[in-house]
Amino acid sequence: MDSSNLTSLPEEGSEETHNSHNLPSAFSSAPTRPPIQTSSQKYAPSDWSGYFDQEDDIQIPDSDDVFHVYMAGTEGPVIFCLHGGGYSGLSFALAASKIKEKARIVAMDLRGHGKTSTQNDVDLSIERLCSDVFSVLKTMYGDAPPAIVLVGHSMGGAVAVHVAAKKSLPSLAGLVVVDVVEGTAMASLIHMQKILSNRMQHFSTPEKAIEWSIKSGSLRNIDSACVSIPSTLKYDDSKKCYTHRARLEETEQFWKGWYEGLSEKFLSSPVPKILLLAGTDRLDRTLTIGQMQGKFQMVVVRHTGHAIQEDVPDEFVTLVLNFISHNRIGPHGIEIPGLRRPPQSKP
């Protein structure tokens, strides 16, 4: 090969080299790469105040029980949220930041969970849990509560159904049950102790617990995990680490009572109701018949785990607000077009 035909490379410092610096580069408009997040940054806890407007402690009269609640919004019906076993009221944090634009939202820490303090944290009998809900509502709103839409996830869904079925809450206007069905729940109870014992028990930091919740598949939304998981932990001074706040493994005697007869109670609840499921295989025979008869609305939410309100909060909010709008639930209950409410007489 004749080397004279090859273009010679410019010498360093030559005029040609300097001119080449002025030529547009294929990489000149490439964005700067964001700094890589460390694990502790990625899973850093976030505060409830970024989602709810306020928190409060509800002291139940004539008892030592104090229930912690998170609240947001100023208008519309009250969407009263009950979390699942082992979760907390902050399970609804991301949803609250959107719901408060259209309605009020209250999420309580149930007995034995979150920042709630009771005389007996392991009495999670369905009777006790229902009584707690009635007590909190009574203490917060007295004898003239606004329209209430009960929202319950998992164990909290069972509590919501039992509360609705008692027909003791005149202002109850709607019922939203999130991923709990009697048949599946009852069948899973025999595996529950093993599931509880197999989960990671000790965490050096809240960040490690948040990371575990995501990597184990318990939650799929890092933003939600960062705000909700820290409230499910407590610090164990003797072991110098964080452990699970709720002592679920000590409540096995109550589990059957949460779910037994749940489908019939759900269908008998005298308010509009919707069931949000993470999979179609979770309908039992009673609910299948009820759904075919149009007794409730059902939506299967795709691409989510068990905690629908945490994994896909935007879709969850849309479904809840559409349910309220479709059933014309206002701050005082079901609103019938053309029917004016009588003016409130002033004392």
If we measure between CA atoms, which residue out of 60, 51, 40, 181 comes closest to residue 107? 51
Provide the token pair at 87. Answer: 């979760």
- Looking from the CA of 216 toward its CB, the CA atoms found within 13 Å total 14
- Residue showing tokens 């948040």: 210
Task: Give the count of beta carbons closer than 10 Å to the beta carbon of residue 11.
Answer: 9
Q: In degrees, to the nearest 5, what angle opens at C-alpha 342 toward C-alphas 338 and 343?
A: 125
Distance CA 232, CA 113 (A): 7
Neighbour-count burial of 295, counting CB atoms closer than 10 A to its CB (0-12 exposed, 13-18 middle, 19+ buried): middle
Extract the tokens encoding 259.
């779910």
Nearest Cα residue to 93 out of 106, 74, 76: 106
> Active-site positions?
154, 179, 306
- Give CA–CA dist 52/45, Å, rounded: 15
Sign of the alpha-carbon torsion through 280, 284, 286, 289? positive
- Nearest in space to 83 (alpha carbons), one of 180, 158, 153: 153
Q: Look at strands 172-178 and 148-153 and give their pairing.
A: parallel
Structure tokens, 251: 């409540």
Q: 64 CB contacts (<8 Å, ≥6 apart)?
A: 117, 118, 119
